[in-house]
């Protein structure tokens, strides 16, 4: 059995880590390099860096900042935001990223997943999927949640695997930053549709939320930000709680 993963996320805007609720009301919470170092020391299994304004501003990810983070941590590092070409993915690989995350660009041009995966391997490509539940259905959203598409969540989930993505990072906009728990029912449905690893994001508010997620086998990993950024719980404390409650996790 593969151990479950705890993954802190750095949502970065203009070089600072930020956090909001339902993708809105963002406020600065710290320096991404310092936070990355702290989370690695606490026992994080991986670190995710998302340049959340790159796509809306029509630019690429800040390479220098990515490089500084990568040089200061010793855990797998996923970078996303503004990646639209195979060349940009190559630049991030050289800057120290172990995986890249594509979201809006993949919705607009699905072939970007296949292009990058065929060059660097499926394990290098994470399909980040943001979705919102409204009017009785889940729809994929892009551009940091500012654009709702006609693309159905479950349709897109199956498609990204077919295109060559090696992992899916699903964020429920409805749950993001609320602290009310993960979208476990939807995550369970996604996990039964695909064979690649699934990372859950959006809604973690307490240790028991992670326990429910893993006890129901809804995902292979859990991504969180607010819970860790605001010191509500440490990664070390969380992992010990999960281990004590029977979850296979690295301490």
Cβ-contact 202, 6 below 8 angstroms: no
pLDDT for 203 = 93
Which residues partner with 137 through β-bridges?
A: 134
Q: What pLDDT, in 10s, does the model give residues 184-233?
A: 999 999 999 999 999 999 999 999 999 999 999 999 999 998 889 888 99
In the chain, where are the structural domains located? Answer: 5-244
Q: pTM for the whole thing?
A: 0.92
Longest dimension (CA), the chain: 46
C-alpha span between 234 and 224 (Å, rounded): 11
More confident residue, 113 or 51: 113
Fold exhibited by the domain 5-244: TIM Barrel (3.20.20)
The SS3 assignment for 111 reads helix
Q: Verify whether residue 209 is a known catalytic residue.
A: no
Q: Verify whether residue 11 is a known catalytic residue.
A: yes
- Quick check: 177 pLDDT over 70? yes
Which residues partner with 221 through β-bridges?
A: 5, 199
C-alpha span between 54 and 88 (Å, rounded): 13
Q: Can you say whether residue 207 is alpha, beta or left, with left for phi > 0 and alpha for psi between -120 and 50 degrees?
A: alpha
Cβ-contact 222, 200 below 8 angstroms: yes
DSSP-derived pairing of the beta strands 47-51 and 24-30 = unpaired
Residue 27 burial by Cβ neighbours in a 10 Å radius (0-12, 13-18, 19+): exposed
- Quick check: 180 pLDDT over 70? yes
Q: Can you say whether residue 24 is alpha, beta or left, with left for phi > 0 and alpha for psi between -120 and 50 degrees?
A: beta
- Set 45, 51, 130, 209: catalytic member: 130
């Amino acid at each position: 059995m593969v151990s479950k993963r705890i993954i802190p996320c750095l949502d970065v805007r203009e070089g600072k880590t930020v956090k909001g609720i339902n993708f809105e009301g963002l406020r600065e919470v710290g320096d991404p390099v310092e936070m990355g170092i702290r989370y690695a020391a606490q026992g994080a299994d991986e670190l995710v860096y998302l340049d959340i304004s790159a796509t809306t501003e029509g630019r690429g990810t800040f390479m220098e900042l990515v490089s500084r983070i990568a040089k200061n941590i010793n855990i797998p590092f996923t970078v996303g935001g503004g990646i639209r070409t195979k060349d940009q993915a190559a630049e991030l690989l050289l800057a120290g990223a172990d995986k890249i995350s594509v979201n809006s660009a993949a919705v607009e041009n699905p072939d970007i997943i296949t292009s990058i995966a065929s060059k660097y391997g499926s394990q290098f490509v994470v399909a980040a999927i943001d979705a919102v539940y409204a009017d009785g259905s889940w729809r994929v959203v892009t551009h940091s949640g500012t654009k709702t598409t006609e693309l159905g969540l479950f349709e897109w989930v199956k498609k990204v695997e077919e295109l060559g993505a090696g992992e899916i990072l699903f964020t429920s906009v409805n749950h993001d930053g609320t602290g009310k728990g993960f979208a476990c029912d939807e995550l369970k449905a996604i996990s039964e549709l695909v064979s690649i690893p699934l990372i859950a994001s959006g809604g973690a508010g307490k240790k028991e939320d992670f326990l429910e997620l893993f006890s129901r086998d809804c995902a292979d990993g859990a991504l969180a930000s607010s819970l860790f950024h605001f010191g509500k719980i440490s990664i070390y404390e969380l992992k010990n709680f999960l281990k004590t409650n029977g979850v296979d996790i690295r301490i």
